[in-house]
Each structure stands twice: as structure tokens, then as C-alpha cells.
Chains A and B, each alone.
Chain A
Amino acid sequence: MTALLEVENLHAYYGKSHILDGVTFHIGMGEIVSLLGRNGVGRSTTIKAIMGDVPPVGSVRFRSREIVGLKPHQIARLGLGYVPENRDIFPSLTVRQNLMLGQKWAKQTGRWSMQDMFNIFPRLEERADTMAGVLSGGEQQMLTMCRTLMGDPDLIMIDEPTEGLAPMMVELVGKLLGEIAERGISILLVEQKLTIALKISHRLYVMGHGRIVFEGTVPEFNADARVRQDWLEV
């Protein structure tokens, strides 16, 4: 499998604290990869460093092109999409306007149209002209994911998409992830509680203390009780 994203010896700092301590992993074309780990081990920081939101030190190659040193908007335009954990919707804009801002330019067409989003989440269509700030947590989560998809990324990095969602919503998110994979888009899924990671991932990485401590397939992960115990269970 050709690597779409190659992260090599990635370091990141918040002020003086060393958050990422040489993270190395890769994601293949069309692959679903999960990044697991307890709170505070640097999973979100890894994504933010890849996006250039946190200054990265090391090497990140996307389609073999070095992207360390590029600005976030340049990285996004190469085809990397980011869905933040805190559901950073634009609260004073409507649902439709939020989705429009997912597009990188006015007439961007790609694998996803706004109608696709509405078909997957009819709820968003019902509320298309509502201020996004008044949506429920689950609706906001859908909106954040759909907004990023509107920019037609080749790799979408999703931070804790099921955190705090009702079971029905979790199912919907799972369904969308399936749809994304079906259209040939690679997924990097960050999770703590393994809600959907084990069901959909091709490969898993586990992080601990700012580095990768396990790499393998789901069966390999399931066979290794120590990994869960040492690096995931609280």
C-alpha cells in the first residue's frame, strides 16, 4: 500500500513542555487508522501539529511532499481535513453557511455536495437556516464532520467524534465514517474509549507519553492484553 501520510520523528512543544516526543506512523491510501491513548498523551496535539496549528518539529510528508513549515491553510488545500474535538462550529452562522465555509473556494466541487450531507443527516437539512450555535451537541458534531468533508479532503483526521454522544448518534457517526471510507478517503480516527475504532479500523496505533507504543491490526491488538492494560485502561 502506498503511504499517503508519513509522520517521522515528530516533536511538538507547548511553551516549555515537550508534548510529542518523536511520533512516527503512516497512513496508506484509503486506509482507516486509529490513534488511541489516554487523555493528555498527545493524540490531539499530533493532529494539530500535522495541520500546522501547533508548530511541528520533525518530518511530515503528504503524498511524499514535506509539509512541515507550511501554513495551516496551505496544508488544508493539499487535501488534509481536520475535524476538531471541541466542535469548533461557527455559532453565529447558519448551518448552511458553516457548510459553505468548508468549501475552500466558492464553486468547489468534489466527492461531496451539500445535498449528500443532507441525505446522510436529514436533521441538518431541517435546520439548514438555523444558527449553528443553537444546535445540540450531536448535531454540532455532524456539522463539524460535514463541514470538513465539503472541502473534499483525501485524508480526514477526526478527533473524538463520539465523545459525549447518545448511542443513536454514535451509530450515525459510524455510518458516516463507513460512507467516507467507501469513497476512497483515508481516515485517521482519534479515540479514547474505543467506541468505533475497533469496528472500522484497518490498523491501530496506541500512544503513551508523547510517542507511539503499539502498532498493529485489530486482531493483533485484541491478542495483546498488556497494551490495553498499560496504555488504555484507566
Chain B
Amino acid sequence: MLELITFSTLNGVLYGMLLFMMASGLTLIFSMMGVLNFAHASFYMIGAYFGFEISRRIGFWPGFFVAPVLVGVIGGLIERYGLRQVHRFGHVAELLFTFGLAFVIEELVNMIWGKLPVDYRVPPSLDFVAFRLFDTTYPAYRIFMLATAVAMFVFLLVILKRTRVGLIIQAALTHPNMVAMLGHNVPQVFMMVFGVGAGLAGLAGVIAGPALVTQPSMAALLGPILFVVIVVGGLGSLGGAFVASLLIGLVQTFAVAINVSLADAIGPSAASLFGELGRAPLAQIAPVLPYLLLVLVLIFRPRGLFGTRET
């Protein structure tokens, strides 16, 4: 049991930190520009494919550093020459733009790399056992993923809280017009945040690619969970996104690991009220849990855990 708790916590935190690497950018972009970027998970996918492509030509480490930058640049260009042009037609147009973009990216990935998963592997330098606990081994690559995510989090925090650009971003989250009238180039800040957000998602893709599966559907699989994270955390709240990321990471990991059903918990007769669902083990229900959480939050706390405005 202790073994299960230890490893599930580790994996849950890891998954949560990965989610946060994407959710942080998504929620910042939302609060600054009022746009829910449907293509955000696509940047994660591009990151994984770029990482794969670079790693098989030059090596994993060049990909680790170069791929996120490339994705960031692509994100910045998309904001500058796509989203900003659409902006004057209002938020619905912007939403549709990002929605379409997600499909375009998926199709492009399909065309270039095919529909089947590509062989993006953990680099040999990280392919060893980090530690052994209660007879279970934990791969070093997972520790590396966790370390990367934590480093990213610290980096983001320092930029936001300790630098002048960070102050401008924080102010522009709530008062973009006023910030501009003080002489700060807000559109440029937007482009930067969009680019960095895309780059962070790309980085998440680069490190998650070898651990999970790098395939054209990876964006569509992850996108909805991201929306759950930022809605549960409160749209526009970085702290909220962080807590919600960990929460959903842990909930999903534990749900998969713990093999109890509703029938075990409340007794077969009470559980029979729920029909088939009552006998299903928790692991089977796991995928639905984030969405259940989403619905509950929307009903009982529409502004999310830490949000300041209604979603």
C-alpha cells in the first residue's frame, strides 16, 4: 500500500507538472487576450514531433533545447500574423481561428509523419533505473521530466515576479489599455507571451513524447484535459492552474492505480442503484473523473478554485 501511494504520488505530481507546463501558457494567454487557444495542445504535439525529428538526426539533447524554441517562434508568428489580424473581428473569430488551427496542425502532422506513432525513444543517457523502492524500480527519465518541469516552473515564477517584463505582463493581464497608455508595447508583450506559452507546451511535448506516445492524436487527447485544468483552477489564474494541474494529475493517477469499485466502497446493494457503473473498478472510471470535476466546479463554483471572474 505504501508502495502504491509513493509511486502514484510521484507519477501524479509528474503528470500534474506536465499539465501545468501547458496550462500555465494557456491560462496566461487567456487572461491577456481573452482568447481560449484551442490550438495550445497542438504546440505540445509539434514539440514532440520536432523533438523526435531532431533527436533522430542529431540527438536528444539538441532537440531538447532547439525544438521548444522553434515551437515558440512558430507560436509567436501565428500570433503576429494570424491571431492579431483576426482580432478586430472579435473573440468568436479568434476562437474559430485557433479551433481551425488545431485541425490544420493535426492534418499537417498526419501528412508529414503519418498516422502511426513514431519511434521517439528515451535517450540512452537517461535510460536507467533511478532508484529501487519496495522492489519497484523508478526510471531516471521520469525524474528528468519532473526536474525539467520544476525548473520551468521556477523560471516562469522568477520572470513573472522578479522582472520588469513580468510586472508588465501581470499588469496587462487585467488592464491592457492602461499599460499601453503608460508607453508599453502591449501587442509585443502579447506576442511574447503567446510565443513563450507555445514554447513551454512544446517543451512539454519534447519531454513527454518519449515517455508517452508520439502520434497525431496526442493533441486531441490532451486538449480537453487542459481546458479542465484551467477552468477548475479559475480562468486566468496561474496559481489556480498549478493547483488544478496537480489535483487532476493525482486524481487520475490514483484512480488508475486503486482497484476498487463503487460496490466495494458502499456495499453491493447500494451500488446496484448505479447499475453497471457500480461494479466498474475505479480504474475504468478514471478517464471520466476530470470531466466530472469540471462539471461539478462549473455548477458549484463557476469562477474556479482561484479565479476572479465567472467562466
Contact = CB atoms under 8 A, between A and B. Distances in A.
A76 B180 contact: yes
Looking at B170, B182, B186, the one whose CB has the most chain A CB atoms below 10 A away is B182
Interface residues of A, number: 24
A107 B250 CA distance: 45
B30 to A, nearest CB: 17
Contacts of A151: 182-183
B174 interface: yes
B207 to A, nearest CB: 31
Contacts of B180: 53, 71-73, 76
Nearest to A76: B183
A104 interface: yes
Given A100-B164, A100-B167, A72 B174 contact: no
Interface string B173-199: 011011111111111000000000000
A51 interface: yes
Given A77-B183, A151-B183, A72 B164 contact: no
Interface string A75-94: 11100001010001011110
A93 B187 CA distance: 21
A71 B184 CA distance: 10
A29 interface: no
Contact of A148 (B164, B167, B174, B182): B182
9 contacts: A71-B180, A72-B181, A73-B182, A84-B181, A93-B167, A104-B183, A104-B184, A106-B164, A151-B183
Interface of A: 51, 53, 71-73, 75-77, 82, 84, 88, 90-93, 97, 100-102, 104, 106, 147-148, 151
Closest 7 interchain pairs by CB?
A76-B183, A104-B183, A72-B180, A90-B171, A88-B178, A73-B180, A77-B183
Interface of B: 164, 167-168, 170-171, 174-175, 177-187
